[in-house]
Structure 1
Amino acid sequence: MKTILFAYRVSDLERSLAFYRAVGYTELGTVPFDDGGKLVWLKLSGETSVSLELVHRPAAGPVEPGGFEHLAIEVESLTTTIDRLTTADLHPGLPEHPGGPEGPATSWLVDPDGYRIELVEWPPGGPPTVGD
């Protein structure tokens, strides 16, 4: 088994698509709903299939994120990513080292609906593996 994707319900589909395009996602397809809403499948350049689904259902009422902690995205260079996102006016946070200087470097970003995204640059040797 493997995780295929996760889905966010969004209040303004075009605003969210602009945000996630600036992060680095590309669109793979759209599925319309009978109620006028739709969902859009997205993926990052290093992924082979859909990994994010944006669901827009205006008839379902306001979007209220909750009970979800965050999404984490691995980046090759946190500094380069922060610079690119800052240029795109997305306001990433300053780099942090929550595991100490030998651990991963991270930065936080918040999407237009309030979902938190953790950007992670692993130290040399990569992420911990099972048994570490």
Structure 2
Amino acid sequence: MKLVTLANIQFNRIGTLGPGRGGFPSYVSSGDDRRITVCVELENSTSAAVLEKVKEIAIQKGEHEQDLRRLGQQRDYGADSGGMSFKEDLDVWGTQYSSTYADCEVFPAFEIDGRYFRLQEVQKSDL
């Protein structure tokens, strides 16, 4: 049994970062799903480690490495304080997406024989 850090990463628009790939992309008509969620183990819970994992998975799913350089952490209004969101910095004036590129929830877990068990702190009350 060992203590690990896990991240649930939800990609909202995977495949939309490159030039000409945003707007109303071809995957809409082809039926491809650009919203995927993965759960991965991390070295630590820093935003840099999470962003590196987001980029690694995005490249595996077809994004180009040079397009991922524009991703940065962003905190949206009403976002959960325990989560992280990543959105691209667009250099084209007036262009924006209403959704983040990826939303991440990072949490501790026990790994036992290849299975993971989420930990949740419980507050003990004194009588």
- Compute the TM-score of the two structures, normalised by the length of structure 2: 0.32
Which structure has the larger Rg?
A: 2
User: Which structure exhibits the higher relative contact order, with contacts defined as CA atoms closer than 8 Å and separated by 6 or more residues?
Assistant: 2
